[in-house]
Amino acid sequence: MNLNRHCKTALAAAALCVATGSFGANLSKPDYTAAKDRIEAEYKANRNACDKLSGNAKDICKEQAQGKERVARAELEYSDSGKPADAIKVAVARADSTYAVAKEMCDNKSGNAKDVCVSEAKATHTKALTDARLTEKIGEAKKDAAQDKDAADFKVASEKCESLAGDAKAACVSAAKARFNKS
């Protein structure tokens, strides 16, 4: 199981959804409730399927069921809100779920092989969480940069209005304020 590839794929999918705006539909209350109920029903079905297993296979199955539920709930919240913070929560839920399953899979091993397995799982988890935080910081930086650019453009537009007088100047200032959403 290549956890690193899985986490990168999940983060890329979340970033794509943010970029394309494919989330954020603001679901109606009945649709949201129906989706929540579907997630709960799927979780119970997956959890019940684990009862046929025993030992560590059962533990792995349970972690997978819980992980799928956590990710599905995070995706539902993001699909409802469309907020970048909720997109980050999806990436974090995926990373946490992948890590929990990987750690459980390491229980099948012993000695140094188990130690290496746990270390690899932890490293992959840390990388995925770091990528999620980086995505968040990049979004914040882009927002700040856009605000700085707008402020600079507004200042230039205001300066251009200074050469005018009377109603023309007032109209120019008014247009600049409207263009840059200033009051």
pLDDT in tens, 11-69: 444 444 443 344 455 788 999 999 999 999 999 999 999 999 999 999 999 999 999 99
One-letter identity of residue 76: L
Handedness of CA 162, 164, 165, 166 (dihedral sign): negative
Rounded to whole angstroms, the Cα distance separating 104 from 100 reads 6
Q: Which of 81, 96, 95 is nearest to 13 (CA)?
A: 95
Distance of CA 16 to CAs 19, 84, 97, 147, 162, Å? 5, 12, 21, 23, 44
Amino acid 82: pLDDT: 86
Average pLDDT over residues 113-136: 92
The position carrying tokens 């539909």 is 25
- Check whether 5 has a pLDDT greater than 80: no
- Check whether 137 has a pLDDT greater than 90: no
Q: Kindly indicate the confidence band of residue 92, based on its pLDDT and cuts at 50, 70 and 90.
A: very high
- Check whether 140 has a pLDDT greater than 50: yes
- Check whether 81 has a pLDDT greater than 50: yes
Amino acid 25: pLDDT: 59
Amino acid 95: pLDDT: 95
Q: Kindly indicate the confidence band of residue 123, based on its pLDDT and cuts at 50, 70 and 90.
A: very high
Q: What is the 8-class DSSP label of residue 181?
A: T
Mean of per-residue pLDDT scores for the chain: 86
Amino acid 12: pLDDT: 42
State the greatest distance between any 2 C-alpha atoms of the chain, in Å, as a whole number: 85
Tell me the pLDDT tens digit for each residue of 103-122.
999 999 999 999 999 999 99
**180 close to 157: Cβ distance less than 8 angstroms:** yes
Q: Kindly indicate the confidence band of residue 73, based on its pLDDT and cuts at 50, 70 and 90.
A: very high
